[in-house]
Amino acid sequence: MRSTAEGQRQRINELGLSENVWAAWRTAYGKLAIDAIASPMLYCFYIITGGKERQETLMVRFAVIGTNIITDMFLEAAKEVEGFVLRGVYSRTMERAQAYAARYGAERTFDSLEELAACEEIDAVYIASPNSLHAAQTIRMLRAEKHVLCEKTIASNLREFEEMKRTAEEHQTVLLEAMRSVHAPGFRAIRENLKKLGVIRRISFQFCKYSSRYDNYKKGVIENAFNPVLSNGALMDIGVYCVHPAVALFGMPKQIKSSALKLSNGVDGAGTILLEYGEMQGELVYSKISDSRVASQIQGEDGTMVIGEIQNPQDVVIYYRTGETEKLSIPQTDRDMCYEIRDFLELIAKKNARHPWLSYSGMELELMDEVRRQQGIIFPADPAE
């Protein structure tokens, strides 16, 4: 049997720690440093050397579930994130998993979720499968002590999400919805500058984009984006980009009214949601069967904030009633998923399983459940009444 000291030494070698860094950890943190290297997770520590603080960032070993274009975008963005290491790829077929792993340099491949969950070389999992699979896959990984970054929409309904959240809390693992827009610097700038608008009276968030998959739909080919069996449709695919920032900024409305344009298979192609907050009104407009050229807005008594794209808030301008304008300074990047990855790693580093973003996801799904109820859109994943 391997001794405790030998186990520590092997773990230190695996993490690539130098003797000096390890000695500094032991001196500064004692048992906490030992517990940290014993864990499969990765943490950030401040090492005191020469009277100065220096942050040592260790690596979080990821696996991805899903080998689609969204995963491609995620892995390209991850190249900008210190601490991210792609270690594994899961696909339903080993051939596809191996091909995808070869493209991105992943060492491990899986065609079994059980084997992925059991793998000690994986600390965290990014899930980019169809919405209907999110809950079951997430819960399986959380129970195996894996942190989970799950693509939007994080679950089919609020009931599923609450079970996911409970599981994360029980196992002290981090669960986060990969809602890229609210982790971007542009969204932070929106929140920080709301007070300049005075009393806010109206929000109007729009995301309408004609889907190339709609052409196939009209030819009789039903792809994932238009398949309600997979908990998909316009609301779940792009309407969520309007819903999530609305509740993240302003909370749950007092009243919700909605309508949808439903296609022949019962899926929603477009929709409108009206929100009543008492002293403020809101409208959320989304579509996968038409385009929009209209920007999103937050209107206040002292000014109006115009957001070029609510799903990608990099162009934000305030128009004041005085006639002045202010263009907010926002970092620009084509790889905006990097911000959600950084926030996810920070939550892991702080062991923060109960973070505010979970409440936003909960409100998002509570609102969307009510919208679907009003629109008569039912998924197989929904609880029976």
> Which tens digit of pLDDT belongs to each residue from 256-272?
999 999 999 999 999 99
pLDDT band at 3 (very low <50, low <70, confident <90, very high): low
Q: Are 107 and 88 in contact (CB under 8 A)?
A: yes
Q: What is the mean pLDDT of the chain?
A: 90
Q: What is the pLDDT of residue 384?
A: 81
Q: What is the pLDDT of residue 331?
A: 87
Residue 92 pLDDT greater than 50, yes or no: yes
Q: HEC states along 187-218?
A: HHHHHHHHHHHCCEEEEEEEEECCCHHHHHHH
- For the beta carbon of residue 226, count every other beta carbon within 10 angstroms: 24
Q: Are 242 and 286 in contact (CB under 8 A)?
A: yes
Q: What 3-state DSSP class applies to 249?
A: helix
Residue 104 pLDDT greater than 50, yes or no: yes
Cis status of the peptide bond prior to 153, with omega within 30 of 0: yes
- CA angle 316/286/159 to nearest 5° reads 105
> What percent of the chain stands above pLDDT 70?
85
- The pLDDT of 16-41, averaged and rounded, is 53
Looking at residue 45, its amino acid is F
Residue 1 pLDDT greater than 50, yes or no: no
- Sheet with strand 316-320: strands edge to edge: 255-262, 268-276, 281-287, 200-208, 296-300, 303-307, 316-320, 325-327
Alpha-carbon gap, residue 134 to 164, rounded angstroms: 9
CA atoms within 13 A on the CB side of 343: 22
Q: How many residues does the structure list for the chain?
A: 385
- The pLDDT of 276-291, averaged and rounded, is 98
Q: Which of 29 and 320 is assigned the larger pLDDT?
A: 320
Express each pLDDT in 158-173 by its tens digit: 999 999 999 999 999 9
Q: Are 49 and 24 in contact (CB under 8 A)?
A: yes
Q: What 3-state DSSP class applies to 309?
A: coil
pLDDT band at 17 (very low <50, low <70, confident <90, very high): low
- All domains of the chain, ordered by start, with CATH? 4-57 (no CATH), 60-179 (3.40.50.720), 182-375 (3.30.360.10)
Residue 130 pLDDT greater than 80, yes or no: yes
Residue 47 pLDDT greater than 60, yes or no: no
Looking at residue 315, its amino acid is D
pLDDT band at 334 (very low <50, low <70, confident <90, very high): confident
- The pLDDT of 225-236, averaged and rounded, is 96
